[in-house]
Amino acid sequence: MELADAGQALVEALRQFIAVVPTWMMVAVVFVVAIVIGVLVGMAVSRRGAKSAAPRPQAVAPPVRKALPAPENPAVIAYREFLEAKEISASDLDSKVREFAVALKDMRQNLRDLTPGDPARDVDAEAAREALESGKFGDAVALLTMLGNDEGQDGVRARDAAAKHLLAAALAKSVAGELYMAQIDPKSAAVQFAEAAELLPDMHEEMLAEVLNKHGTAAYQSGDQVAAISSFERSSELLQRRLGKNHPDVAAALNNLALLYYSRGDYERAEPLYRRSLSIDELTLGEDHPGVATDLNNLALLYKKQGSLEAAEPLLKRALDIKEKNFDPGHPSLITGLRNYASVLKGLGREDEAKVFETRATTLPPARRGAVG
């Protein structure tokens, strides 16, 4: 009751105050109060806008966690334990483990590619793979050694049997080729010799060179000069590797190749081959051997073909001297030598000398005793 009476008294006093205060003063008070309220509201709004305009703090990204290393393969773990048991230093241990991890990839791939010739051994191969993966190196080595021995023995037997079959096939085809050549069928002979060359096992290089030489001859006679060149070149390379660069068989192969180039008009390639063949035969057969005379004649004919009679003349004269030492009068090779030399003398304008050798080629003197036939 006391509070209510106090309130009524306050209201009554305010009413009496308003009644005595002039109207213009009341308006001024209201105006001032309005201004104060406006200022307070403006300040509050300004503070609120400033807060909203301030940059928001950036969200902090959570720290990136490093990926955990892949767990080591059991084989790598086993290898590490093996090295530790050997008391390998820490620095060497890490490097050796890394090297092993790289090598392990190759070992895995090789074991995946391992397919035994005997299917019954697939079980052993799989067991070896599992032993490697699990780090049981002793078991893996034992299985792989056994598998290698068994497969190796089977392989050697199969290889030897295959080599025997291939050699027989090559020899049969080579003889067939020779029979075709005897029947003047070089084209068929070339086919047989080519197949024989393909079938011959690797360890028969001398025989391969011989077959290639026969194929080159057959191919040349059948008109396939490209194939002939290839075979003569291969034959020459094989003989040089097998017999050495100064063997008579090498000289014969070089001479065949030079003859082929000569027949194709490729004198630049033919000349050095003829010269080398001549040098080999002089060294191995002797300077007065009939084979040397043939080499001299071939080189001289090449020079003659090129129009160089001055270079051909001394070679043909020397070839003729060798033939006179080795052949009886009337021998076809000797007669050919006399005519070839006479022809070059004529070309050089030495007519009188040429007639002497032409006459000797047509008049056969008595046979000499002791002459080589």
**What are the tens digits of pLDDT across the range 87-112?**
888 888 889 889 988 998 999 999 99
Q: Is 6 among the domain residues?
A: no
Please tell me the total count of domains within the chain: 2
Quote the CA–CA distance of 323 and 334 in Å, as a whole number. 6
**What are the tens digits of pLDDT across the range 30-47?**
554 455 555 454 555 455
Residue 174 has pLDDT above 90, yes or no: yes
Task: Give whole-number Cα distances, 115 to 72, 111, 119, 124, 155, in Å.
Answer: 28, 8, 8, 11, 13
- Tell me, what CATH number does 302's domain have? 1.25.40.10
Beta-carbon contacts of residue 77 (< 8 Å; ≥ 6 apart): 135
Query: For residue 279, which of 246, 312, 257 has the smallest C-alpha distance?
Result: 246
Quote the CA–CA distance of 15 and 4 in Å, as a whole number. 17
Q: Is 145 among the domain residues?
A: yes
Residue range 171-197: average pLDDT?
96
Q: Is 130 among the domain residues?
A: yes
Q: Is 150 among the domain residues?
A: yes
Q: Is 372 helix (H, G, I), strand (E, B) or coil?
A: coil
The pTM for the full model equals 0.61
The mean-pLDDT minimum among 56-70, 187-201, 203-217, 344-358 falls in 56-70
Quote the CA–CA distance of 208 and 215 in Å, as a whole number. 10
Last residue of a domain, one of 120, 155, 190: 155
Q: Is 25 among the domain residues?
A: no
Give the pLDDT confidence score for residue 9 in this predicted structure: 58
Last residue of a domain, one of 130, 155, 180: 155
**What are the tens digits of pLDDT across the range 254-274?**
998 999 899 889 999 999 999
Q: Is 138 among the domain residues?
A: yes
Residue 56 has pLDDT above 60, yes or no: no
Q: Is 309 among the domain residues?
A: yes
Give the pLDDT confidence score for residue 25 in this predicted structure: 58
**What are the tens digits of pLDDT across the range 129-164?**
999 899 899 999 999 999 999 999 999 999 999 999
Looking at residue 361, its amino acid is: A
Give the pLDDT confidence score for residue 223 in this predicted structure: 92
Q: Is 346 helix (H, G, I), strand (E, B) or coil?
A: helix
Q: What's phi and psi for 169, nearest 5 deg?
A: -65, -40
Do 357 and 345 touch, CB atoms closer than 8 A? yes
Give the pLDDT confidence score for residue 220 in this predicted structure: 92
Q: What percent of the chain has pLDDT over 70?
A: 78
Q: What percent of the chain has pLDDT over 90?
A: 52
Q: Is 151 among the domain residues?
A: yes
Last residue of a domain, one of 155, 175, 199: 155
Of 153 and 373, the structure prediction assigns the larger pLDDT to 153
Do 364 and 330 touch, CB atoms closer than 8 A? yes
Range of the structural domain that residue 358 is part of: 274-373
Residue range 237-266: average pLDDT?
90
**What are the tens digits of pLDDT across the range 222-234?**
999 999 999 999 9
